[in-house]
Chain A
């Protein structure tokens, strides 16, 4: 335990995902030892992000305006939508640099045991985007784990009557993992070899 302000910082850092008490302590002392300007830059970035970043009203990705930069980019193919669970998964798919379509962020996966059913996700918004016939293919890139698979099955069944082609990245993605941990090569191959989901 340390003096008030230092302990405060350690406590706050320790609440971040992936930072344990030891890590929090290490970061805190690193900041203390570093140039005060670096700490100021970090503080400013934290403030800016909470004040400026919103969620895209079309796709649910993080955005600095009403819409994200992908939805605003006219070069992105509006006929393909890649459905992912979280904004960080958009970043993972963007890393493969080959996907030129757009995204839809669900805000999670169906997980009844946690009380998350289809109504809790941005599925209605997805269906609205499919209504005008622009979209011809939907890539269901939910995580290759149980909840992700079940969510893909649910969506495929829901979308089937619309006639939109529904695909899922190939099984090159190891089962049980998080999409964000897949490397670009594996993810790229999985997208290339995506298969038609027939329910």
Chain B
């Protein structure tokens, strides 16, 4: 659903704002820019001449930049004709390597959760902007920001892990295990072989991150944070067709 601003020849022009997820070299000096846009969803568009040092786009089309774009529809890829920065998260993140690795994992996840070209994904867009802002403002441990982002993206995609009731039978009694294929915590009688037995602190941390309860999340024990990251990563990989390659490179501070 794009806003039509007019036409240029017979090409449709439209305007949208979005976060640059990825850039790929194209030919001598161009790049293909993948953007998660507010109204349009995920778009791949060409930025011409962007790799030349005198490019009019400058650094405005680098990953982590929230940009206001003007595009015209092309036959295969759209072409970016104008770009204005709304907010750039790149500089604060590249100056802090662990935060940068977390940010990259967030961008890659956002791309994986929006597999269809130009299918609106407003909630994923808002989650990403919120996640990048939290990461750049450095108020919380970056790995917690990542796990909160991953859990909420899963939730928006319809895969929120069951934490309060058994994922299989729905009982709210004692839930000793986390079973990834079952969809979250399970009771003793539903527990499949090989399910993990997380500490209760880990389970409440996952709940706090899903709810956005930062007071509790910030005070959680490190061992629960580590266990939570492991479960969230495994749970995420199970639900996505492709693995998130950058997760392996995320540094914990």
Residues of B within 8 A of A181 (CB): 29, 51-53
Are the CB atoms of A153 and B108 closer together than 8 Å?
no
* Binary CB contact string for chain B from 18 to 35 against chain A (1 if under 8 A, 0 otherwise): 000010000111000000
Residues of B within 8 A of A17 (CB): 27-28
Say yes or no: A18-B59 contact (C-beta < 8 A), given A112-B105, A114-B245, A153-B94: no
Residues of B within 8 A of A157 (CB): 97
Q: Which residues of A contact B (CB under 8 A)?
A: 17-18, 20, 110, 112-115, 117, 144-146, 149-150, 153-154, 157, 173-178, 181-183, 186, 199
List 18 A-B residue pairs with CB atoms under 8 Å apart, sorted by A's residue number: A17-B27, A20-B27, A112-B105, A112-B249, A112-B250, A113-B104, A115-B245, A115-B248, A117-B249, A144-B59, A150-B94, A150-B100, A174-B53, A174-B55, A176-B51, A181-B29, A181-B53, A199-B95
At the interface with chain A, which of B61-69, B178-186, B218-226?
A: B61-69
Closest approach, in angstroms, between the C-beta of B156 and any C-beta of chain A?
21
Closest approach, in angstroms, between the C-beta of B246 and any C-beta of chain A?
3
Asked if B176 is at the interface of the complex by the 8 Å CB criterion, the answer is no
- Measured between alpha carbons, how far is A148 from B12 in the docked complex, in Å? 35
- Measured between alpha carbons, how far is A199 from B99 in the docked complex, in Å? 13
Closest approach, in angstroms, between the C-beta of A36 and any C-beta of chain B?
29
Q: For the complex, would chain A's binding face be called helix, strand, loop or mixed by DSSP majority? A: loop
The contact of B245 among A112, A144, A149, A176, by CB within 8 Å, is: A112
Q: How large is the interface on B (under 10, 10 to 19, 20 to 34, 35 or more residues)?
A: 35 or more
- Measured between alpha carbons, how far is A178 from B90 in the docked complex, in Å? 17
Closest approach, in angstroms, between the C-beta of B252 and any C-beta of chain A?
14
Q: For the complex, would chain B's binding face be called helix, strand, loop or mixed by DSSP majority? A: loop
Q: Which residues of B contact A (CB under 8 A)?
A: 22, 27-29, 50-55, 57-64, 90-91, 93-97, 100-101, 104-105, 107-108, 245-246, 248-250
Residues of A within 8 A of B95 (CB): 149, 153, 199
Are the CB atoms of A175 and B58 closer together than 8 Å?
yes
The contact of A146 among B28, B52, B90, by CB within 8 Å, is: B90
The list of the 3 closest CB pairs from A to B, nearest first, reads: A175-B59, A112-B246, A176-B59
Residues of B within 8 A of A18 (CB): 27-28
- Residue in A112, A114, A149, A183 whose Cβ sees the most chain B Cβ within 10 Å: A112
Residues of A within 8 A of B97 (CB): 150, 153-154, 157
Say yes or no: A113-B107 contact (C-beta < 8 A), given A18-B28, A176-B55, A182-B53: yes
